Copies of this chain bind each other. A is one copy, B any other.
């Protein structure tokens, strides 16, 4: 969807899978005479780092994964060459890998959400069974979920977000950290997509008693809603603190209409929201990526 928008407005696009370097893609970067330029060539198209406006990161493959003789060392050397070159270009990133990596840390998300003024459900991460027990006794209705998402090699190993009570056996918490969060009885799920300084909020009515919105069908669909002004202010504060150009926020709307911060996914999908609500998110992404660079000399805030 984004690439179509870019084509429509005549913005040149090059797709690169780091797994194709070396091989289908060729890279050269030269550092000389106090200056720098680099070139990437894919399928005969050549891109100069001087002309590179922006980088949009979408689930990149591992460098050199498609090489004739892949190895961890070849991946390390190729990653150095590719990302070292891209980081050297004074370009816009959606999102910069450095900030993206940190933004994946869920406990840190909650701290930044606090500082940004969101309502955050009381949450504990612990490897102490006694702490898990006390937290659940205090809050009574608690959900347990995974911090890192389901395991890649065996997704079924992770439960969906699950309601538990104080009578739970917490002994296994000592074997691996547990994420416990006060359950928010919700009347709707909210997905708020932030693209640069543009916000797209969408709402889907929840089934009564539904805990994890990712599982189970529902007759409801996503509908565009305005973002309350206070929420908008907090979103801008959050993405500024986190250094993100793109972020997908998930909230639970409770019976009083309060939006509770659940998480912020720096690489969250937006296609399903755009298709159901008609919100022009892909166009906003394309616009953010489009400006020709003027004199964006590298500075701390760009890295």
Interface residues in chain A, defined as those with a beta carbon under 8 Å from any beta carbon in chain B: 21-22, 25-36, 64, 67-69, 71-74, 76-81, 83-85, 87-88, 97-99, 101-102, 105-112, 114-115, 120, 122-128, 131, 135, 146-149, 151-154, 157-158, 174-177, 179, 240-243, 298-300, 303
Contact partners of A88 in chain B: CB under 8 A: 107-108, 110-111
Instruction: List, in ascending order, chain B residues with CB within 8 A of A98's CB.
Output: 98-99, 101-102
Q: For the complex, what is the distance from the CA of A105 to the CA of B82, rounded to whole Å?
A: 9
- The 24 sampled A-B contact pairs (Cβ below 8 Å) are A22-B177, A26-B127, A26-B128, A28-B131, A30-B123, A32-B122, A32-B124, A34-B120, A36-B111, A73-B151, A73-B157, A78-B176, A80-B125, A80-B148, A81-B125, A81-B127, A81-B179, A83-B105, A87-B102, A87-B107, A87-B108, A112-B298, A240-B300, A242-B303
Contact between chains at A125 and B29 (CB < 8 Å): yes
* A67 close to B176 (CB less than 8 A): yes
CA distance A63 to B105 in the complex (A): 14
Cross-chain contact A34 with B114 (CB below 8 angstroms):
yes
Judge whether A31 and B176 touch: CB under 8 Å.
no
How far apart are the CA atoms of A32 and B257 in the complex, in Å? 20
Contact in complex: B125, A28 (CB < 8 Å): yes
Cβ contact within 8 Å between B127 and A21: yes
